[in-house]
Every structure is written in C-alpha cells, then in structure tokens.
C-alpha cells in the first residue's frame, strides 16, 4: 500500500523537509533560546513543538513510511540554502532574525563555538552537512532505504514468511 507521501507525489519534498526539520529541531532542543523561565507556557510550548517535530520524523523513518535516498543529503543542503536566502531577505525587510542569520542568540549556544558573524554562517554549513550525513547513515546500503531495526519492517517480514500469499 503506498504511503500518503507517494499518493500526493511529494516523496522528495517530504524527505528533504524531514531531514532539515530533524536537524533543526534537534539543534533547537540542544541549545534552546528561551525568553521566559521554565515552566512558563512559552517554554513548555517550545519543547513540545520541537520534540513533536523530532518524534514525527523519527516515526516516519522507523515505520518505513519515509525512506531517504542517497541524494537526500545533497538536496537537503540545497533546500536549506535556498530557504536561508529567502529567510535572509525576510529578515532584512522586517528586521527579524529567523535562523540566526543576522546575529547569534543572546543566550549561550553552540553558535558561540563557530566564530563571529558572518563566519559562523559559513561554519554552520559544515555542521549542517555533518548532521545530514549522520541522519542518513542508518539508511545507507539498505534495500529501499529501510532501517535495520525497524519494527514495522521486521513484523511485516515475519508475516510474509509465515503466509506467503
């Protein structure tokens, strides 16, 4: 049975979005930029939102509904840079700082280790590439990109071996 991504012809977009979302949400969880003390609504919402992004992408990957291909890393880098360029224009026009393209966050973060502006933007390219490659590792050299430890795949394999209809 085809997945929803295949039914709507958005397989490539879903994979690219998932790779970028997983890397970005994971980094946000590791170095949160919070404006309110815990346990305020904004702080709880921040962790719930980013945690659900990570959980949903992992569910899609581990269930076998999303299978990154070998080209996913390169395309994710292109999509990320196009998105950053568009957001950079938005930031300039509206004086915002989405993706920290204009300045680092005021709180301490991993960006502090990457140098001053604009050099940390160059360094984040390499960090993003490393994260995307790490996210792809479990899928490489596997038939149809399935994870080795996927419970859905194991259960399906056991059922088809018992009942080969």
Tens digits of residue pLDDT in 10-57: 556 667 777 778 878 888 888 787 878 888 998 899 999 999 988 988
> Residues 99-157: pLDDT tens digits?
889 999 888 888 889 999 999 999 999 998 998 888 788 777 665 544 444 444 455 55
Rounded CA Rg of the chain: 19
Count of domains for the chain: 1
Q: Give the model's pLDDT for residue 153.
A: 47
Task: Give the C-alpha distances (Å, rounded to integers) separating 40 from 16, 48, 105.
Answer: 33, 12, 20
pLDDT of residue 150: 44
- Model pLDDT, residue 165: 53
DSSP 99: G
- The alpha carbon dihedral of 17, 130, 122, 98 has a sign of positive
Whole-number Å distance between alpha carbons of 64 and 151? 9
Query: pTM for the whole thing?
Result: 0.67
Q: What's the domain range around 22?
A: 4-162
Tell me: the pLDDT tens digits for 59-93? 887 777 777 777 878 888 888 899 899 999 999 99
The number of helix segments (H) and strand segments (E) in the chain equals 6, 0
């Amino acid at each position: 049975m085809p997945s929803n991504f295949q039914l709507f012809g958005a397989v490539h977009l879903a994979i690219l979005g998932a790779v970028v979302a997983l890397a970005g949400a994971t980094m946000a969880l590791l170095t949160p930029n919070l404006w309110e003390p815990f346990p305020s609504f904004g702080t709880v919402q921040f962790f719930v939102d980013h945690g659900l992004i990570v959980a949903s992408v992992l569910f899609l990957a581990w269930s076998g509904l999303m299978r990154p291909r070998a080209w996913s890393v390169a395309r994710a880098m292109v999509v990320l840079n196009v998105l950053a360029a568009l957001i950079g224009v938005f930031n300039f026009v509206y004086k915002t700082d989405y993706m920290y393209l204009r300045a680092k966050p005021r709180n301490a973060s991993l960006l502090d280790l990457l140098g001053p502006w604009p050099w940390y933007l160059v360094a984040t390219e390499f960090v993003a590439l490393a994260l995307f490659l790490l996210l792809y590792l479990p899928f490489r050299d596997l038939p149809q990109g399935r994870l080795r430890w996927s419970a859905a795949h194991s259960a399906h394999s056991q059922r088809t071996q018992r009942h080969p209809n």
